[in-house]
Copies of this chain bind each other. A is one copy, B any other.
Amino acid sequence: MISILLNNLLRTTPRLAASFYQRPSAVGCRCDLALVISIGRKIWAIPEGYIPGQSHGPAPAMTSHEACCILNASEKSAHVTITIFFEDSNPAGPYQFEIPAKRTRHLRLNNFKKPRAIPRDTPYSSLIESDVPIVVQHTRLDSRQAENALLSTMAFPCD
């Protein structure tokens, strides 16, 4: 029982699984976690979200935008689903993307089209779910005024 509890404890926290060798158990459980460090997590949240409706400067580089930057350092293609939450209406989505193994994608949320575009000048939040571990960072370029402003933060890992 204790081994099962510990095994579950390790299974639920990918970081703890690192350097954990495959080994037979003396008390009858299977500790089959391989010696692999997962780069990232599978569920990420970004509470801040706001696509300015105005821009200065040449498109698309200086267009006001938000980016959801995703690193898939794993050996498998990542199938990513993004859900958008609003203040006064039901969540929108799923927005679906595939990120190949050993690749990054800098998804511009202002370019999301299916199932529908994200409205401008509207507060929102994002929830990002993947079938393989990824790392997610959030960046905004705001060019409403003549000189652009930037913000960025790592998303919050939820699993």
Contacts and interface: CB of A to CB of B under 8 A. Distances in A.
Interface string A61-85: 1100001011101000000000001
Contacts of A150: 140, 142, 149-151
A59 interface: no
Contact residues on A (Cβ < 8 Å of other chain), bracket: 35 or more
Q: Which of the listed residues A1, A13, A57, A87 has the most CB atoms from chain B within 10 Å of its own CB?
A: A1
A109 to B, nearest CB: 14
Given A9-B16, A37-B159, 13 more contacts: A2-B6, A38-B158, A45-B135, A46-B71, A49-B69, A61-B121, A69-B123, A71-B127, A73-B127, A104-B123, A142-B150, A151-B151, A151-B152
